Amino acid sequence: MKNNKREMLLTSLVCLLPLFAGAALYPRLPETMVTHWDFSGNANGWSSRAATVFGLPLFILALHLVCFYAESRETKKNRNPVLRTVLLWFCPAVSLLGGAVTLGTGLGYEMHISTVVPVFVGLLFLILGNYLPKIRQNRTMGIKLPWTLQSEENWTRTHRLSGFLWVLCGLVMIPLSLLRLWSGWLFGVLLAVMVLIPAVYSYALHRKGI
């Protein structure tokens, strides 16, 4: 219990680091700040300085606490310590990345959004894909389809395939992003591969009685 409280406190503080940095830099930031970019790295969404500096980190913190609560309800039998650590640090990592990008852009620095964000997402796919096959059957984390929840064998096989596909898509994303060959339609294709193929495979196993 004490470890859980320490983890929650530490990761929550990390989520708020961009807020503290933004507060310190507040006088140097513009009244309106870029908060959204398209796949080519062009700005297409703006928010007020206050909403960007204070609202975004607080929103991510709220999401983080919801995820922490959901994970803490899982039984010890179904927990994977490594994957749990990855998931608990996901929102803090997003907060740090988002804070660096929005504050850096607000200060006038070129942040290379079209490269930085896809590389981050590709690394996330690599990490999660490596641990997807190790997730035990549960109702909190993983690919929760009716067929995977009904059959442990279906769950195991589906997550094994999903892990391979997530790692593969991560390996495709990172070099293409670094080479500036990334695009929205390509992300859609990879997302379809990661989501649809495991779902169809799981259903096919179910039809076979697995």
pLDDT per residue as tens, the chain (210 positions): 566 788 889 999 999 999 999 999 999 999 999 998 887 778 888 999 999 999 999 999 999 998 888 777 765 655 667 667 777 889 999 999 999 999 999 999 988 888 899 999 999 999 889 988 988 887 777 888 999 999 999 999 999 999 999 999 999 999 998 888 888 888 899 999 999 999 999 999 999 998
Helix segments in the chain, DSSP class H: 2-25, 49-50, 56-72, 81-88, 90-106, 113-131, 146-150, 152-178, 184-207
- What the block records as the tokens of 71 is 């994970």
Residue 208 to residue 210: CA distance in whole angstroms: 6
Q: How far is CA 55 from CA 48, 68, 117, 172, in A?
A: 10, 20, 20, 33
Predicted pLDDT of residue 114: 84
Predicted pLDDT of residue 106: 93
Predicted pLDDT of residue 2: 60
Predicted pLDDT of residue 76: 61
pTM (global) more than 0.85: no
* Angle (nearest 5°) at CA 191 between 188 and 197: 125
Predicted pLDDT of residue 75: 58
Predicted pLDDT of residue 80: 65
